[in-house]
């Protein structure tokens, strides 16, 4: 049965210390070559839009794809311009396992990768972090960096 996760469940399952270490292991392993990401123009002249497909897999274990839509005119409708989901499948059977909120995964992964880089590039006694911007990742960046430089 396919499980639907909420953003709160993703946050609880992926605390930054654990996520940073998982990314460290994944980057060290190098894994599969990055597959080609596909972009499709799916909008209309009045409402331009794009569908992005971002697949990833670990042979025999898991495979999935982040599905992203980008509709810049959504702001006029009071909606976000970007929406996304991640769909996870079993790597041996291809059966769907989970659907996760892509925004939460993306924000956490981006922040954790930045924190991992800071772990290697900053001095161990660093105590100040400058975050430029107020987008979705800004809050996550501060929290993730605190996991590596408390």
Strand partners, 102: none
Domains identified in the chain and CATH numbers: 3-148 (3.30.1780.10)
Is the distance from CB of 120 to CB of 25 less than 8 angstroms? no
* Residue bearing tokens 């430029």: 132
pLDDT tens across 83-131, in order?
999 999 999 999 999 999 999 999 999 999 999 999 999 999 999 999 9
Question: Is residue 77 pLDDT above 90, yes or no?
Answer: yes
DSSP state of 73: G
Cα(15)–Cα(147) distance, integer angstroms: 9
Question: What percent of the chain is modeled with pLDDT above 70?
Answer: 100
Angle between helices 136-148 and 102-121 (to 10 degrees): 40
Question: Is residue 31 pLDDT above 80, yes or no?
Answer: no
């Amino acid at each position: 049965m396919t499980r639907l996760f909420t953003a709160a469940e993703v946050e609880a399952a992926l605390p930054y210390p654990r996520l940073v270490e998982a990314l460290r292991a994944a980057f060290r392993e190098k894994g599969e070559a990055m597959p080609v990401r596909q972009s499709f123009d799916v909008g209309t002249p009045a409402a331009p839009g794009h569908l992005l497909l971002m697949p990833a897999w670990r042979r025999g274990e898991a495979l999935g794809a982040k599905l992203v839509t980008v509709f810049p005119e959504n702001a006029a409708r009071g909606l976000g311009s970007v929406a996304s989901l991640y769909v996870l499948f079993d790597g041996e059977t291809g059966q769907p396992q989970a659907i996760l909120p892509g925004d939460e995964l993306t924000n956490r992964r981006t922040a954790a990768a930045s924190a991992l880089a800071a772990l290697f590039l900053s001095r161990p006694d660093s105590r100040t972090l400058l975050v430029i911007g107020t987008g979705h990742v800004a809050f996550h960046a501060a929290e993730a960096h605190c996991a590596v430089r408390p």
